[in-house]
Structure 1
Amino acid sequence: MRFIRPVERDDLPQLLALAGKTGGGLTSLPADSQTLSARIERSIQTWQDALPRAEQGYVFVLADSDNNQAVGICAIEVAVGLQDPWYNFHVGTQVHASKELNVYNNLPTLSLSNDHTGSSELCTLFLDPDYRDGKNGYLLSKSRFLFMAEFRDRFMDRVVAEMRGVSDENGHSPFWDSVGSRFFSMAFTDADFLSGTGQKSFIAELMPKHPLYIHYLSPEAQAVIGQVHPQTAPARAVLEAEGFRFQNYVDIFDGGPTLECHIDQVRAIRKSRLLPVTLSERAPDESLPLCLVANTDYRNFRVMLLRADPKSAAITINRETAQIMACQSGDNLRVVKLFAEEKKA
């Protein structure tokens, strides 16, 4: 059985192995032991209420109940940009017009932005390719919403998610080649690694301070603005089904889209409800919908996918599941359907 839990120090070897399978482009999961170890420690300190809001970040792993091994990772940054600037490009428009010459041109531009400062961020989503079966990806991605719903006061009103942009199997990014390389004079993979290991001062020092005209970029770069890496397309679809939208902000390195939503408008947060636990050894009713089910224990948080009826008076689970979920009869579990109900025509 697979379940979500907080990251532990012993997960470092598995996280390093996962980082080695990303193929680059996932800035927040670098294959660097020191950086990942520090990330784990920061997450643990966040759960211990030992850090100010500007430094808080939660890391979760998808674990196998047979061996407790981490096979996936996801995270939430509580408030980005309060300590180190959080940059992206805003895709906007500049108008150049001459009434005398009867010329009127709308020119799309890229402008360096800090507009998402203070937002909570969904980040570091990666599932081991060997475990991309069933609904593991949905569990990994959406589990964070139940944590945010249960501990709403710990997060900001706006939630954002940077989507990985287009790059090839060799780490070649057409957007970087046409934009970033002009200012940083380094390879995309090198800049990506520096940013992922916390060395971000070069961004403020070297990025252009004035708008860039998109028409000056290569056709290849223009084509990938706001587009996601093929492996990231399912993650984008998951977030959009939960209410996230692209509002014309893109990553400064690879041009990938930033999606955003008000926290209280996220479907899984808005629709989730608490149900008391009833223990039973009967087999689960397979006719019931698949649901995300989370406990309410802040430091021992757990999420699983279970068959349940969110509209019932209670949720019935067996003792093995209760042990994994760290709950007992009478405790409350937060429940929401895995997928939104399809709208009838």
Structure 2
Amino acid sequence: MLIIRPIRSSDFAALYHIAEESGHGFTSLPVNEELLRNKIARSEASFVKTIDKPFDEGYLMVLEDTDTQEVVGTCGLEAAVGMVDAFYHYRLGTEVYHSEQIDVRNEVETLTLCHDYTGSAELCTLFLGDKYRKNNNGRMLSRSRFLFLAQHSERFGETVIAEMRGESDAEGNSPFYTWLQQHFLGIDFVQADYLSGLGQKAFMAEMMPKNTVYVCMLPEAAQKVIGEVHTNTRPALNLLQAEGFRCRGYVDIFDGGPTVECNINDIRSVRESRLLTVKVGDMPASDSSFILSNTLLADYRATSAKLLVSDETDEVILSPELAAALMVATGDPIRVLAM
């Protein structure tokens, strides 16, 4: 059985392996032992923290194959970004130039450095091992976060964002970043991405262009990738768009990839998930697959299963094995979402 649960300190080796396997562009998991241990400790603290409002909590979860006790994937949520470290984006805009005298009107696209998403929640750190990329496992891992958001919405900012990986080649070179490197930053894309993942972002404030950037003055290769996603990221973007996420004109400052957003209560899976009451017994046959999770915090558990769910009743029957894996018993609430 595949179970999603909060990460714990004993998962360090597995998380380090995931960081190595994920490759270029996976900024949230740099290959750095100290940072990864700190991420785990921060997540453990967040899952037991009593809060009045979201601040800087991070909820990192892993996907465990209970048959082998192997960690095969991870997913995460940030409660409110930019509250401690600056959270930069470029905002796409338009400037209009018009002269009646010479009868000329031009619209020019611009990029402006901003912190507009400060305080927003973020979907992040989604990765699944190659041999488990089947049977809707990736969809389950990604969408399980919406059940967590639905159950614990008070712990997150009202706007939920996701940064989509932008265009880069096999060596991690980004056409958009090449321009930045040449004229401003002076370090390569992989190094800049790595420092950002470490939280060492002072160089951004010191070296990034502070004035409005006119897109038409960038090299053509850089212009073409603004707002475009990496080929490997297209399925993730499609899934989020189906949930109601849209790009509102914000792009990553390094690779130009789009950031998408949605109000937490407008996310389709948040709206459509249901709270049902557990009855432990013999599960009736069903062809309908669901993601299901308990309603706990520190002991959060989620998985997928074929369930018989009816609009006529708020009760759902789980097998003893499934109930035990989700840490629920007869009479407990459980949240379900159709796959």
Q: Where on the TM-score scale, by shorter chain, does this alignment land: which range?
A: over 0.9
Q: Is the 8 A contact 1:11 1:69 kept in 2?
A: no
Q: Is the 8 A contact 2:4 2:303 kept in 1?
A: yes
Q: Which residue in 2 is equivalent to 1:28?
A: 28
Q: Which residue in 1 is equivalent to 2:81?
A: 80
Distance 2:170 2:160 in 1: 30
Distance 1:4 1:78 in 2: 19
Distance 2:70 2:142 in 1: 18
Tell me the amino acid that sits aligned with residue 152 of structure 2.
F
Q: Which residue in 1 is equivalent to 2:338?
A: 337
Distance 2:334 2:182 in 1: 49
List alignment gaps of at least 5 residues for structure 1.
Answer: 339-345
Shift of residue 244, structure 1, vs aligned partner: 0.5
Show the 5 A alignment for 1:38-187. 38-49=38-49, 53-187=54-188
Shift of residue 67, structure 1, vs aligned partner: 2.9
Distance 2:128 2:135 in 1: 12
Q: Which residue in 2 is equivalent to 1:190?
A: 191
137-146 vs 214-223, which deviates more? 214-223
176-185 vs 71-80, which deviates more? 176-185
Q: Is the 8 A contact 2:28 2:125 kept in 1?
A: yes
RMSD between superposed Cα atoms in Å:
1.5
Distance 1:68 1:6 in 2: 14
Shift of residue 68, structure 1, vs aligned partner: 2.8
Distance 2:247 2:196 in 1: 23
Tell me the amino acid that sits aligned with residue 304 of structure 2.
L
Q: Which residue in 2 is equivalent to 1:241?
A: 242
Shift of residue 180, structure 1, vs aligned partner: 4.5
Q: Is the 8 A contact 1:310 1:337 kept in 2?
A: no
Shift of residue 169, structure 1, vs aligned partner: 1.0
Q: Which residue in 2 is equivalent to 1:279?
A: 280
Q: Deviation digits for residues 10-54 of structure 1, max 9, x if unmatched?
A: 111111111111221111011111111100000011112178843
1:15 has 2:15 as partner: yes
Show the 5 A alignment for 1:303-342. 303-308=302-307, 309=309, 311=311, 312-338=313-339
Shift of residue 286, structure 1, vs aligned partner: 3.2
Tell me the amino acid that sits aligned with residue 295 of structure 2.
T
Distance 1:177 1:245 in 2: 27
Q: Is the 8 A contact 1:292 1:304 kept in 2?
A: yes
Distance 1:130 1:217 in 2: 41
SS at match of 1:55: coil
Show the 5 A alignment for 1:220-231. 220-231=221-232
SS at match of 2:21: coil
Q: Deviation digits for residues 252-281 of structure 1, max 9, x if unmatched?
A: 011111000000000111111111112223
Tell me the amino acid that sits aligned with residue 302 of structure 1.
R
Distance 1:257 1:182 in 2: 22
Shift of residue 144, structure 1, vs aligned partner: 0.9
Q: Is the 8 A contact 1:3 1:304 kept in 2?
A: yes
Q: Which residue in 2 is equivalent to 1:257?
A: 258
Q: Is the 8 A contact 2:27 2:194 kept in 1?
A: yes
Shift of residue 220, structure 1, vs aligned partner: 1.6
Give the share of equivalent positions with the same residue, in percent. Answer: 42
Q: Which residue in 2 is equivalent to 1:343?
A: none
Give the TM-score, by structure 1 length.
0.94
Tell me the amino acid that sits aligned with residue 274 of structure 1.
L
Q: Which residue in 1 is equivalent to 2:290?
A: 291
Q: Is the 8 A contact 2:282 2:317 kept in 1?
A: no
Distance 2:244 2:161 in 1: 11
Q: Is the 8 A contact 1:179 1:217 kept in 2?
A: no
Distance 1:236 1:89 in 2: 19
Q: Which residue in 2 is equivalent to 1:5?
A: 5
Distance 1:316 1:146 in 2: 19
Alpha carbons of structure 1 residues 110 and 310: separation in structure 2 relative to 1, 3 Å: farther
List alignment gaps of at least 5 residues for structure 2.
Answer: none
Q: Is the 8 A contact 1:122 1:159 kept in 2?
A: yes
SS at match of 1:164: coil
Shift of residue 177, structure 1, vs aligned partner: 0.6
